[in-house]
């Protein structure tokens, strides 16, 4: 039997061996956290993404009934070029029949047919004995983006015509009717004619008056050509037609008769 004294002397030799044998089975000691730890911890407060605020769409203005909407600059027609001033304005006078009128600037005046006009085609219902005395035609296009092709102011006389024959020349077509108007202090019959194959290519305002055993006649002719699907050009508008008529009406308003 081993003595107690011998066991105490051998204990230092067996303690390291016992500790090495028991280490794998030991429970690790509990650790305490410190506020000075350098390892980051999950925060209790979650980071939030800023909310995206939607930008409101601009409110499109609603069209107002009866008010024209503004045309964007890119869709507006180009401004017409300045009108020419030559040849200068001048006065025509027919000493044989005692008629004069004012020819505007940039209008060509001639006493001969076929140089700038086709009187027989334009004044279709004139008598065969009618003589063209003068024609003034515009030398530029005031509406270049339209189907406008010409404006002619004719003065003609049918000698030895009766009152009935003169009145017949101022014919018209429905729905228009023959009316009367005063030119230079003399009463004229006012008729109208137009013609064309596919579209209206000519419009003729006709004025006739019986005077000194002759029929005095003025024709205000506007020539156009077919637009749209035919030529691809924009048809002349009613406002543009009226603007051309006003130019020729100004010539008609300047007519004066000698000894009247």
Question: Region 53-60: what's the mean pLDDT?
Answer: 71
Residue 254, pLDDT score: 98
Who has greater pLDDT, 125 or 19?
125
**Per-domain residue ranges of the chain:** 87-257
pLDDT of residue 115: 73
Average pLDDT score, the chain: 84
| Least confident interval from 5-14, 166-175, 199-208, 232-241 | 5-14
Query: Number of H helices and number of E strands within the chain?
Result: 4, 10
Residue 245, pLDDT above cutoff 90: yes
pLDDT at 122 over 50: yes
Q: Which residue has the higher pLDDT, 78 or 17?
A: 78
pLDDT at residue 259, as a whole number: 85
Whether 218 contacts 252, CB under 8 Å: yes
Mean pLDDT of 200-214: 96
Q: Helices (DSSP H) in 102-213: which residue ranges?
A: 119-122, 163-169
pLDDT digits (tens, 9 = 90+) for 148-192: 999 999 999 999 999 999 999 998 888 889 999 999 999 999 999
Which is more confident, 181 or 27? 181
pLDDT in tens, 69-82: 777 877 776 676 78
Span 122-146, average pLDDT: 95
What is the pLDDT averaged over residues 102-116?
A: 91
pLDDT above 70 covers a percentage of the chain that reads 76
Angstrom distance (rounded) from CA 233 to CA 85: 27
**Residue 18 region, left (φ>0) first, then alpha (ψ -120 to 50), else beta?**
alpha
CA angle at residue 134 from 132 to 136, to 5 degrees?
130
Region 1-7: mean pLDDT is 53
d(CA 45, CA 242): 80
CA distances 93 to 110, 114, 123, 154, 254, Å, are 12, 20, 21, 13, 12
Q: Do residues 239 and 222 lie in contact, with contact meaning Cβ atoms separated by under 8 Å?
A: no
CATH class, domain 87-257, is alpha beta
């Amino acid at each position: 039997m081993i003595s107690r004294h011998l066991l105490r002397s051998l204990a230092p030799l067996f303690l390291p061996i016992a500790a090495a044998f028991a280490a794998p089975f030991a429970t690790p000691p509990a650790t305490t956290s410190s506020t000075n730890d350098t390892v980051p911890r999950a925060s209790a407060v979650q980071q939030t993404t800023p909310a995206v605020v939607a930008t409101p769409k601009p409110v499109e203005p609603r069209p107002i009934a009866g008010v024209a909407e503004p045309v964007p600059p890119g869709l507006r027609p180009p401004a017409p070029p300045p009108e020419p001033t030559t040849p200068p304005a001048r006065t025509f006078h027919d000493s044989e029949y005692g008629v004069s009128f004012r020819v505007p600037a940039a209008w060509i005046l001639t006493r001969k047919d076929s140089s700038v006009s086709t009187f027989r085609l334009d004044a279709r219902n004139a008598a065969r004995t009618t003589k063209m005395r003068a024609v003034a035609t515009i030398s530029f296009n005031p509406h270049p983006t339209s189907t406008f092709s010409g404006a002619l102011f004719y003065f003609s006389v049918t000698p030895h015509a009766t009152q009935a024959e003169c009145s017949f020349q101022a014919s018209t077509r429905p729905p228009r009717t023959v009316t009367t108007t005063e030119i230079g202090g003399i009463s004229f019959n006012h008729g109208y004619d137009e013609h064309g194959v596919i579209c209206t290519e000519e419009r003729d305002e006709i004025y006739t008056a019986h005077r000194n055993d002759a029929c005095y006649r003025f024709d205000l002719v506007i020539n156009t050509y077919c637009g749209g699907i035919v030529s691809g050009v924009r048809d002349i508008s009613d406002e543009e037609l009226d603007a051309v008529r006003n130019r020729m009406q100004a010539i008609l308003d300047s007519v004066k008769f000698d000894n009247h």
